[in-house]
Amino acid sequence: MRTPRLLSLLFIFGVALATQAAELPLVALFTTGGTIQSKGAHRLTLSEYNDGRVTPDELLSDLPELKDLARLEVVEISNVGSGNIDTAKLLKLSKSITAALARPEVAGAVVTHGTGTLEETAFFLHLTVKSAKPVVVVGAMRPFTAISRDGPFNLYNAIRVAATPGAAGKGALVVLNDTIHSARFVTKGHTYHVETFVSRELGPLGFVDSDRVVFYRDILTKHTAASEFDISKLEELPQVDVVYGYQEASPAPVHALVEAGVKGIVFADSAPAFAKAILAAQAKGVVVVQSDRKGAGRVTLSDRSAARGAITADNLNAQKARVLLRLALTKTTETRELQRIFNEY
Ligand code: ASP
């Protein structure tokens, strides 16, 4: 009699465990590469770590704790440094996230990414994913092989945030170093410190604390489900480049870009020699947007500049203004309409 009873107890226990696992939130994880997946020659290699990259499976095998946190569905988009994330990968990533989040059983999405251009991808997702569910972009400053690597805990925290219902409706979020930033305001602020991501003017949205995920703020600019940008049928985006302003800057890059056929140029600050080149670019139909190199503050628009057809990037840095301008140009080339878009997003 004892053995069947034990078996049935084990069976009930097994069913209970399986039910518990099934009740864990389902998070869609998209991997793209970057330092979080990079390997170095030894544990003290904290730069120039060029010894290949771990697979998504290897990345996750480092985090047995996930079995009590969430169920994961893993999609490998790429395994490259973030400088090699191109339009094809961005479109594939955004479309895949929208498709995953449209399934009722998926609670949220996490993207692992190199930190170099992470803010660009995060802002692109912020503007294009058609869902109110949480989208969290995460990376690491130390490679997978380093002592005290930050990747595993960053990833664990990103999955926690993606599985948190309170993280919904805030657009794409960036989670590193226990801190939750909005993709709209975050930028990489240090070349190698673990605390690199900052939201300079407005601060982070919240924190991933040991007991719970805490939000203190929301954002008011348009994003995700409320965004007007529809990439579902797009295979490419207009070419837009950035030109940096400084003392004695040459207009040559502006002429060269116009010659190369770009559709838009974002200026990170101005320079006297740009003035004529900008007029020539605009005469050829190239849209010009004024951003700034200072890292905080809006580029204000006077009535005189507006009358001259100037477009300003609000307080978006140049690399993010470029992301928005590429999407805006899929809808319009009209100056006032483009300025409305920069004011609203
Ligand atoms: N080179 C890396 C990248 O952006 C840096 C990082 O991931 O932190 O892909």
The CATH number for 13's domain is 3.40.50.1170
Same domain, 328 and 276: yes
Pocket perturbation via mutation, ligand 1, pick of 46, 86, 115 by most ligand atoms within 8 A of CB: 115
Cα of 196 to ligand 1 centre, how many Å? Answer: 12
Output the CA 34–ligand 1 centroid distance in Å.
5
- Domain end (from 191, 226, 261): 226
Residues 100-147: pLDDT tens digits? 999 999 999 999 999 999 999 999 999 999 999 999 999 999 999 999
Q: Of the listed 31, 32, 35, 121, which one is catalytic?
A: 35
Please give the angle made by the CA atoms of 289, 295 and 300, to the nearest 5 degrees: 45
Give the range of the structural domain holding residue 279, as residue numbers without chain letter: 240-344
pLDDT of the residue at 22: 63
For ligand 1, atom 1: residue with the closest CA: 81
Q: Among 25, 43, 47, 24, which residue's Cα sits nearest to residue 35?
A: 47
Per-residue pLDDT averaged across 166-177, rounded?
98
Q: How many domains does the chain have?
A: 2
Residue 235 maps to a domain = no
Q: What's the rounded mean pLDDT across residues 252-260?
A: 98
The C-alpha atoms of residue 345 and residue 337 are separated, in whole angstroms, by 12
- Atom 3, ligand 1: which residue's CA is nearest? 114
Query: Pocket around ligand 1: residues whose beta carbon is below 6 Å from it?
Result: 34-35, 81-82, 114-116, 139, 141
Please give the Cα distance from 94 to 252 (Å, whole number).
35
Question: Does some domain include residue 17?
Answer: yes
| Domain end point (choices 194, 226, 258) | 226
Tokens of 318: 């140049």
pLDDT band at 308 (very low <50, low <70, confident <90, very high): confident
pLDDT of residue 21: 61
pLDDT at 195 over 90: yes
Q: Give, using CA atoms, the residue closest to atom 7 of ligand 1.
A: 114
pLDDT value for 7: 42
Q: Is residue 232 part of a domain?
A: no
Query: Which residue matches tokens 């997003």?
Result: 345
Ligand 1 centroid, distance to 288 Cα (angstroms): 29
- Asked about 35 being catalytic, the answer comes back as yes
- Give the number of the atom of ligand 1 that is nearest the alpha carbon of residue 117: 4
Quick check: is 97 in a domain? yes
- Whether the pLDDT of residue 11 is over 60: the answer is no
Same domain, 53 and 164: yes
Residue that finishes a domain, picked among 186, 203, 226: 226
- Ligand 1 atom closest to the Cα of residue 140 is 8
DSSP state, residue 114:
-
* % of residues, the chain, pLDDT over 90: 91
Domain holding 263: CATH number?
Answer: 3.40.50.40
Residue 62 lies in a domain: yes
